[in-house]
Amino acid sequence: MSVLGHLLDGFAHALTLQNLLLGLLGVTVGTLVGVLPGLGPATTIALLLPLTMVFDPVGAFVMFAGIYYGGMYGGSTTAILLNIPGETASIPTTLEGYPMARKGRAGAALATAAIGSFVAGTISTVVITFLAPGMSAIAKSIQPAEYFSIMVLAFVTVTSLMGDSIVRGLSSLFLGLAIGMVGIDQMTGQPRLAFGVPDLYEGLPVVALAVGLFAVAEAVATAAQRNRQEQPPVKVTGRIGMTRDDWRRSWRPWLRGTAFGLPIGSLPAGGAELPTFLSYNVEKRLAKDPEEFGHGAIEGVAGPEAANNAAFSGVLVPLLTLGIPTSATASMLLIAFQIYNVQPGPQLFDQQPVLVWTLIASLYIGNVMLLVLNLPLIRLWVKLLSVPAALLTAAILTFATLGVYATSQSVFEILVAYGFGLVGFVLRRAGYPVAPLILGAVLGPLMEVQFRRALAFSEGDPAVFFTRPVSLAILVIAAVCLIGPVVLRRRGKISIPAAMD
Amino acid sequence: MSTRLVSAGFLAVALVVLAQAFMIPDGGGYQAVGPRAFPLLVGIGMAVVAVIGVVQAFRAPVTREGGEDKGVHWRPVLLLIGALALYAVLLAPVGYWQATTLFFVAVARVLGSRKLVRDLVVGLLLALATYLLFDRVLGITLPPGLIRLAI
């Protein structure tokens, strides 16, 4: 079947009444949770993951597409109105969106974010519709040694791009890799890092890990700064929408943002941080009046929001075709796939055509739903921002616990989630990014499989990673990505804002 | 929370991982690579990075304390940990919605809420709604506890 045939088939599944309702539910709940301060898209998915598990896989993934976009959209609302970025990629939005809101232009900022996200999301979805099957075909020919090297590259780029210290990022990454190894070795049945605890033989549960690191850690952080004065949200006054002038100033940044976000997001490296910062800087440079930047320039919201959304869609390419997540949010999606015993990777398009194409069709539908629902409903979402922090935190912890318990029926897993909540809180306080940790824990086991396969082919010779030209080239790029930023930072050429995830 | 303390913690974990990795029996057999190679690689990598981290943390001046906010309020954090531990333990014997209501009220209070009645009402409604949704509608069994609901 051709790409279009597959896509139409996907739409046929996505447009059934049940799946439409699930999509609607996903978008709504995703936005609702994403709007809450401090809850970025990854946290939103972690909290809502268990809710999807009662549906059949196709229905669940339709809902997921909605949650994915809804969580991201909700995050930009918090960035604009509260000056709180839910994740690193939202920082540029706070730089211009919050000043706009304070000047009474919240309506325009929210509108350019929403419409820009829609434009970027739709363009990107069209591109990945045609790009992904091709990538999948290429991915099938990748040998274990190269696969391993690509994963190294993904780890290195994600780690060196997040946060202000590569050493701290790598520490988190290695901790994640170690966590991923806990339990019985799949190939030999040998328990590893389990310390003789039977509960650990099946490995540390990733759902509990993610819920703890994101949701519980956020709650603990709120408790730790209890007496801090709360920033009152900016009131949304006037019309939600853009003037003629806003449109004129927004459409080029939307397209440029898409042009940054989509290609970078589609690489098995990258993620969403780089394109959003790139877009912000380019818009600032191209602006007629660069002085306005920092005081509410609409281009600074339009560009990065489009870049962010395009990158989010692009990230699905390495996730679906290679099984490699390149952001915390993509790791959450990989966990969701694994819950359904679906392993994303080169075989996915052949083995699960209905699932994949329904998911892609749902991305189109989710984008439209968001635009149609959210612009009119924005005032309702904003009301959520006035819920007292104490009740909000209590509710987050309740749902986090419910989610873990519902998936496992195990008190042990609840305790794992709470434990990692504390770990996540401590790490964040000390300036360690959490995203590499979850990435390592999720991707580590897959990486080891490729590592051992490659060495099995070479009969145990570790030189295989360096003697195969493609593998060597990828590793050289990884080394440059690792060392390059260190050198540049030493010379004071670039500065990347501290990790916020 | 000082970066020094955490960097030392990383080093400790790295050494544990390394020690554990060495203890994994590598019964090769007909496999080229046993279950020990990858853990060793990770352990070594983690130890190297952790040592650099410790050196960096102890060289840097002790100015880095979080970001916008200074110290941590440990009292609410410790109370929260207590509430979480109790909740996890009591969930099954006491029942989902009963334990959740109490937990909700406790957390809200730890976080500074002083409106007991409001918290109780919100907590009870939330607990009952999620209990009925998951247990009765979605078919995911939650502990009923001592007081059974008539519906």
Chain segment A147-199, per-residue pLDDT in tens: 999 999 989 888 877 667 888 999 999 999 999 999 888 888 888 888 888 88
Handedness of CA B52, B58, B59, B64 (dihedral sign): positive
CA distance A402 to A221: 20
Region A224-242 average pLDDT: 70
B10 interfacial to chain A (CB closer than 8 Å): yes
In this predicted structure, the answer to whether residue A88 has a pLDDT above a threshold of 80 is no
CA distance A24 to A38: 23
Q: Are A264 and A274 in contact (CB under 8 A)?
A: yes
Residue in the structure block whose two tokens are 């699960």? A352
| pLDDT band, very low/low/confident/very high, at A385 (cuts 50, 70, 90) | confident
Which residues of B are less than 8 Å from A455 in CB distance? 32-33, 37
Q: Are A34 and A81 in contact (CB under 8 A)?
A: no
In this predicted structure, the answer to whether residue A501 has a pLDDT above a threshold of 50 is no
Region A396-414 average pLDDT: 90
**What does the block give as tokens for A101?**
């809101």
- Identify which of A168, A195, A224 has the shortest CB distance to residue B73: A224
Q: Do A225 and B69 touch (CB under 8 A)?
A: yes
Q: Which residues fall within 8 angstroms of residue A21, CB to CB, at 6 or more apart?
A: none
**Nearest CA to CA, how far is A499 from chain B (Å)?**
11
A229 interfacial to chain B (CB closer than 8 Å): no
- Identify which of A181, A226, A397 has the shortest CB distance to residue B39: A181
List residues bridging with A191 in a β-sheet: A184
Handedness of CA A402, A406, A409, A410 (dihedral sign): negative
In this predicted structure, the answer to whether residue A461 has a pLDDT above a threshold of 50 is yes
Q: Do B69 and A409 touch (CB under 8 A)?
A: no
Higher pLDDT, A488 or A264: A264
For B89-135, give the DSSP string.
HHHHHH-HHHHHHHHHHHHHHHTT---HHHHHHHHHHHHHHHHIIII
- Identify which of A170, A397, A430 has the shortest CB distance to residue B1: A430
pLDDT at A253: 93
pLDDT in tens, chain B (151 residues): 578 889 999 999 999 999 998 888 876 555 667 888 899 999 999 999 999 999 988 887 665 444 444 567 888 999 999 999 999 999 989 999 999 999 999 999 998 888 999 999 999 999 999 999 888 888 888 888 877 776 6
CA distance A340 to A329: 17
Which residues of B are less than 8 Å from A165 in CB distance? 56
B11 interfacial to chain A (CB closer than 8 Å): no
Which residues of B are less than 8 Å from A195 in CB distance? 20
CA distance B112 to B135: 32
| pLDDT band, very low/low/confident/very high, at A231 (cuts 50, 70, 90) | low
Interface of A with B in 448-487 (CB under 8 A): 448, 451-452, 455-456, 458-460
User: Cβ–Cβ contacts within 10 Å for residue A120, how many?
Assistant: 31
Handedness of CA A360, A362, A365, A366 (dihedral sign): negative
**Nearest CA to CA, how far is A131 from chain B (Å)?**
33
Interface of B with A in 81-120 (CB under 8 A): 81, 84-85, 87-89, 91-92, 100, 103-105, 107-113, 119
Could you tell me the CA-to-CA distances from A410 to A77, A401, A413, A415, A442 in Å, in that order? 36, 11, 5, 9, 21
CA distance A371 to A379: 14
pLDDT at B63: 54
In this predicted structure, the answer to whether residue A500 has a pLDDT above a threshold of 50 is no
Q: What's chain A's average pLDDT?
A: 86
Q: How many helices (H) and strands (E) does chain A have?
A: 22, 2
Which residues of B are less than 8 Å from A166 in CB distance? none
Which residues of B are less than 8 Å from A188 in CB distance? 27, 31, 34-35
- Give the residue on A whose Cα is nearest the Cα of B85: A415
- Give the residue on A whose Cα is nearest the Cα of B26: A190
B130 interfacial to chain A (CB closer than 8 Å): yes
Q: Which of A158, A102, A199 is nearest to A413 (CA)?
A: A199
A494 interfacial to chain B (CB closer than 8 Å): no
- Identify which of A395, A411, A455 has the shortest CB distance to residue B91: A411
Q: Region of B66 please: left (phi>0), alpha (psi -120 to 50) or beta.
A: left
B6 interfacial to chain A (CB closer than 8 Å): yes
In this predicted structure, the answer to whether residue A311 has a pLDDT above a threshold of 70 is yes
- Identify which of B35, B64, B103 has the shortest CB distance to residue A192: B35
- Give the residue on A whose Cα is nearest the Cα of B29: A188
Q: Are A264 and A313 in contact (CB under 8 A)?
A: no
Which residues of A are less than 8 Å from B37 in CB distance? 451-452, 455
Q: Do A188 and B34 touch (CB under 8 A)?
A: yes
Q: Which of A258, A298, A255 is nearest to A110 (CA)?
A: A298
A22 interfacial to chain B (CB closer than 8 Å): no
pTM of this structure: 0.88
Interface of A with B in 89-108 (CB under 8 A): none
Query: How far separated are the first and last CA of chain A, in Å rounded?
Result: 41
Q: Do B37 and A451 touch (CB under 8 A)?
A: yes
Distance of CA A456 to the CA centre of its chain: 34
- Give the residue on B whose Cα is nearest the Cα of A408: B140
User: Cβ–Cβ contacts within 10 Å for residue B60, how many?
Assistant: 11
CA distance A321 to A43: 24
Interface of A with B in 416-445 (CB under 8 A): 418, 421-422, 425-427, 429-432, 444
pLDDT at B128: 93
**Nearest CA to CA, how far is B130 from chain A (Å)?**
9
Which residues of B are less than 8 Å from A398 in CB distance? 100, 103-104, 126-127, 130
For A179-226, give the DSSP string.
HHH-EE-TTT--EES-TT-GGGTT---HHHHHIIIIIIHHHHHHHHTT
Region A383-388 average pLDDT: 81
A interface test, pick of B2, B5, B7, B17 with most A CB neighbours within 10 Å = B17
User: In one letter, which amino acid is A235?
Assistant: K
User: Cβ–Cβ contacts within 10 Å for residue A463, how many?
Assistant: 8
ipTM: 0.91
**Nearest CA to CA, how far is B40 from chain A (Å)?**
10
**Nearest CA to CA, how far is A445 from chain B (Å)?**
10
**Nearest CA to CA, how far is B9 from chain A (Å)?**
10
